[in-house]
């Protein structure tokens, strides 16, 4: 089998654990990509593409990459039409609603509509809509935890791991929106066309200790 599998990896938190998992599966690459976006590996049939976390699912859905590693938070937010053949067991955290400690929840004084700042506008809107709780969603790209302090929003929806960032900004968790973890995703057509390669890779990753 000579066809090459291109695997999209996200820069940031999930990058090193993903590199470690592939290394455990015998697929090694330079752990420091520098400015290179396409990286060869020790397996001549596999190459890696290093992109922003939000773009992994876009590359895989379009077929520009055969497979990818992504968090289920960005995957559900983009709602990409891809296969999810494997949970990878790292990057575990939670997407939560949080608000100022001592602030009113779930209703605001005077029955006002809450403003919610988040990097996940789609998931936030869906979460509150499912509860019949109308909110105004404010999409931001970072530093979400500061939004209530500055009066931009009443609440936030963001990822929590240890809870240290929430505490440091005087916020407490109110509700869990979803549990989050890293998954391997696959392009539908690629999996059909290169089924043997996909299955072999899956088996190696499942057996890898990370
Ligand atoms: P913590 O202080 O450990 O609760 O981490 C919270 C901060 O880290 C927030 O700014 C989150 O957006 C970010 N964060 C936590 N877990 C993850 C993850 N698995 N992937 C990306 N960002 C994360």
How confident is the model over 165-177, as a mean pLDDT?
97
Name the band, by pLDDT with cuts 50, 70 and 90, for residue 133: very high
Taking the CA of residue 92 as reference, the ligand 1 atom at the shortest distance is 19
Percent pLDDT > 90 in the chain is 93
Q: In the prediction, which pLDDT does 62 show? A: 98
Residue with the smallest CA separation from ligand 1 atom 23 is: 159
Q: What percent of the chain has pLDDT over 70?
A: 98
Task: Give the residue, by CA position, lying nearest to ligand 1 atom 14.
Answer: 159
Q: Which ligand 1 atom is at minimum distance from the Cα of 91?
A: 19
Quick: pLDDT tens for 35-88: 889 999 999 999 999 999 999 999 999 999 999 999 999 999 999 999 999 999
From 6, 177, 181, 158, select the one nearest 84 (Cα to Cα).
181
What confidence score (pLDDT) does residue 138 get?
A: 98
Mutate which of 18, 71, 165 for ligand 1 pocket (most atoms within 8 A of beta carbon): 165
Element (H, E) at 60: helix 56-62
Render pLDDT for 146-170 as a digit per residue (tens, 0 to 9): 999 999 999 999 999 999 999 999 9
Rounded to two decimals, the pTM is 0.93
* pLDDT score, position 210: 55
- Please answer whether residues 119 and 158 qualify as being in contact, where contact means their C-beta atoms are separated by less than 8 angstroms: yes
- Name the closest-CA residue to atom 13, ligand 1: 159
**Residue identifier of the C-alpha nearest atom 20 of ligand 1:** 13
E-only strand ranges, the chain:
5-10, 38-40, 46-51, 67-71, 83-87, 93-100, 114-118, 135-139, 155-160, 171-180, 182-186
Residues with C-beta less than 6 Å from any ligand 1 atom: 13, 71, 91, 93, 158-165
Quick one: which of 48, 46, 43 has its CA closest to 33? Answer: 48
The residue among 78, 96, 66, 62 whose CA lies nearest residue 166 is 96
- What pLDDT is attached to residue 1? 42
Give residue 161 CA to ligand 1 midpoint distance, Å: 5
Q: Residue 183 — left, alpha, or beta (φ > 0 → left; ψ -120 to 50 → alpha)?
A: beta
For tokens 């039409």, name the residue.
Answer: 81
- What band does 31 get if pLDDT is binned at 50, 70 and 90? confident
C-alpha distances in Å from residue 122, one per residue of 77, 117, 118, 137, 162: 6, 12, 9, 9, 24
The whole-angstrom separation of Cα 5 and Cα 45 is 6
Distance 32 CA to ligand 1 centre (A): 22
Cis peptide before 106 (omega within 30 of 0): yes
pLDDT band per the 50, 70, 90 thresholds, residue 34: confident
Ligand 1 midpoint to CA 48 (Å): 25
């Amino acid at each position: 089998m000579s066809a090459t599998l291109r695997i999209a990896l996200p820069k940031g938190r999930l990058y090193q654990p993903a590199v470690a998992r592939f290394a455990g599966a015998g697929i090694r690459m330079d752990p420091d990509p520098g400015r290179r976006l396409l990286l060869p590996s020790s397996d001549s049939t596999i190459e890696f593409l290093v992109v922003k976390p939000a773009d992994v699912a876009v590359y895989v859905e379009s077929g520009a990459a055969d497979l990818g590693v992504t968090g289920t938070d960005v995957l559900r937010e983009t709602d990409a039409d891809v296969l999810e053949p494997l949970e990878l067991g790292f990057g575990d955290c939670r997407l939560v609603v949080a608000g100022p400690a001592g602030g009113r929840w779930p209703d605001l004084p005077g029955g006002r509509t809450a403003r919610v700042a988040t990097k996940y506008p789609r998931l936030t809107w869906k979460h509150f809509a499912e509860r019949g709780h109308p909110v105004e969603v404010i999409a931001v790209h970072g530093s979400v935890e500061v939004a209530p302090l500055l009066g931009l929003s009443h609440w936030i929806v963001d990822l929590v791991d240890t809870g240290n960032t929430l505490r440091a900004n005087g916020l407490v968790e109110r509700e869990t929106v979803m549990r989050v973890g890293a998954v391997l995703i696959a392009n539908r057509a690629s999996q059909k066309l290169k089924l043997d390669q996909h299955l072999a890779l899956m088996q190696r990753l499942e057996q890898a200790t990370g």
